[in-house]
Chains A and B, each alone.
Chain A
Amino acid sequence: MILRVKDIKKSFGGLIALDGVSLDIKKNTIVGLIGPNGSGKTTLINVISGFIQPESGSIEFKGMDISSMKPHQIARLGICRTFQLTRVFRHMTVLECMLLASKTHDTGILKLFLNPGEVSKKQNADIERARNILEALDIGHLGNEYASSLSGGQQKLLSFGMVQMTQPGFVLFDEPVAGINPTLANKIFEKIELEKKSTTFLVIEHNIDILMNFCDEIYVMNKGKITAFGTPQEIQCNKSVIDVYLGG
């Protein structure tokens, strides 16, 4: 298990968002997380990535307790998250976004003046790597465009490109293909599948067909609880899932 979430509870005022959620996620798998709107999926991702502190429960990543760490500390362990509304850096170009996502860059100021050669060498290597990733996602020609000028689908591709740029061990993916045409959506998931050999994915997605095709396991959430868990085939046949989610 790369990620163990045990009995997480979190409420906002009177609303119980997470009511004892537990997950076990195996390394190098794609795990789907589905559930109706408001069932607590995004809150769960916020808790795992450290943006929200849980009231109780524990989160272990590679055997280490991360439940009280800050978001940037968790990110540095190799857990990368994306956001539901594609967060766009409005004043930044596609390549700048990719450079931001890089983990190998030097952000020190002293080094910039004491050893400028090394900083620019690393940056050039990052730019090269970023170009290759963008090229593979078919948005290589947009490198110098503002990220905000990209279409919805292109922004999703960029979002995924930034994830690849960080070379994470674990990705929390919040709706990677929402609002995207089926062909492109399939393409993004094919890319995700290629990354599976080095990365583990926890994916929130409403597109059931895609999840059925690409996920190894699926968790179903409803009203802050995990109501079902299994392989895509098992989930498809689960009556309670059909009732609450698939709308049988």
Chain B
Amino acid sequence: MFQDYILDTLIYIGIYGILAISLNLEAGYTRLMNFGKVAFFAIGAYASALLSIAGAPFLAGLVVGILLSAMFGFLVALPALRLRADYLAIVTLSFGEILRLFFLNEQWLTNGPMGLRGIPQPLFSVLDNNYLVFYTVMVFVFLIICYAFSEKIMNSPFGITLKAIRDDEDAVFAFGEDTFRFKVKVFIIGSAMAGISGALFAHYIAFISPDMFFPSLTFSVWTMMVIGGSANNLGVIAGAFLIQFLERGTRFIKDFADLGIEPSNLRIIIIGILLILFILYKPEGIIKERKRIL
């Protein structure tokens, strides 16, 4: 039982870790204020779930989920990335909410507020007792792939250009790079990764509904990135680990002490205080951005 709990925690760390890496590419390395991360997570989740329910194999659902997230990433990026940072934040935030309302209201497709039930879990009948172990391994394989992919592109000329855009977009222009194209590309990659994360989430819990995709999820991932260490892929995974640990840890406190406060509220207070402390005293996060030695 306790082992299951640990595995469940690890699966969530992996799923959020992938989301945090995807946000890190956009916001950490390139400073694109994507406040609509949850939208691309939701697209991956719904697309993959709907296809699986309709009988498609898990991998097909996953691939379509990734492609659809990437496509919507592209469509949102085209108008949004021409905006200044704060307006980009507003547009992406609204997109996430619009999409959630779409899932809530288009009952013919998404079953509305009742959500999608019985999302098939890959290889469930075969593995039976070892299912959590299998799923943990699978999530971590995807996490490692996303990590390696992100490291690879950040160590390439493409990545150098992204970092330069973060520091001074005009100067990058002056060196002959069309910065808009770079921003669109990284937005598509980030959205595709969020799609992977969403699909893994949907098939793990086997039930999704629109109320799982509130903007608070986006901000939770932002917190992981800021506290973990923005522009450091290991850092943001550490952030995902810490936030998951706190979210779950606070649930147990009520077993040991009478706080006179709901544990879920305590959780928000603790994470909020932690975020403030990090921004004030350790803005680079748990693991700070690595200097690349050439």
Contact = CB atoms under 8 A, between A and B. Distances in A.
Interface of A: 49, 51, 70-72, 75-76, 80-83, 87-93, 95-97, 99-103, 105-109, 112-113, 119, 123, 127, 143-144, 146, 162, 166
A119 B176 contact: no
B99 to A, nearest CB: 26
Nearest to B293: A144
Contact of A119 (B157, B174, B292): B157
A143 to B, nearest CB: 7
Given A71-B174, A72-B173, A112-B152, A93 B291 contact: yes
Contacts of B262: none
B167 A91 contact: yes
B170 to A, nearest CB: 7
B246 interface: no
Interface string B169-201: 011111111110010010001000000000000
A70 B177 CA distance: 11
Q: Which of B160, B164, B292 has the most CB of A within 10 A?
A: B160
Interface residues of B, number: 31
A92 B175 CA distance: 15
Interface in B103-133: none
B156 A92 contact: no
A51 B174 CA distance: 9
A15 to B, nearest CB: 22
12 contacts: A75-B175, A75-B176, A75-B177, A80-B174, A81-B174, A88-B168, A91-B167, A97-B164, A101-B175, A112-B156, A119-B156, A162-B175
Given A92-B163, A92-B164, A100-B164, A72 B294 contact: no
B289 A91 contact: yes
B174 A49 contact: yes
B163 A91 contact: yes
B267 interface: no
Given A72-B179, A95-B294, A107 B170 contact: no
Nearest to A89: B167
A108 B156 CA distance: 9
A107 B292 contact: no
A89 B164 contact: yes
A97 B163 CA distance: 10
B232 to A, nearest CB: 11
B231 interface: yes
Contacts of A100: 160-161, 164, 172, 175
A106 B163 contact: no
B172 A146 contact: no
5 smallest A-B Cβ distances: which pairs? A75-B176, A105-B157, A89-B167, A71-B173, A87-B171
A80 B175 CA distance: 7
Contact of A99 (B157, B168, B189, B291): B157
Contacts of A49: 174
B167 A127 contact: no
Nearest to A146: B291
Q: Which of A70, A72, A103, A144 has the most CB of B within 10 A?
A: A72
Interface string B257-294: 00000000000000000000000000000000101111
B171 A83 contact: yes
A97 B164 CA distance: 8
Nearest to B180: A72
A127 B174 CA distance: 21
Nearest to B162: A107
B174 A91 contact: no
B158 interface: yes
Given A72-B178, A112-B152, A166-B176, A127 B294 contact: yes
A75 B174 contact: yes
Contact of A103 (B173, B176, B291): B176
B167 A92 contact: yes
A127 B155 CA distance: 13
A118 B168 CA distance: 28
A89 B171 contact: yes
Contacts of A103: 176
A103 B168 CA distance: 18
B60 interface: no
A217 to B, nearest CB: 24
A83 B167 contact: no
Nearest to A76: B176
A47 to B, nearest CB: 14
A69 B289 CA distance: 36
A101 B292 CA distance: 17
Nearest to B178: A72
Given A80-B175, A87-B171, A91-B231, A109 B294 contact: no
A214 B172 CA distance: 29
A202 to B, nearest CB: 14
A144 B290 CA distance: 12
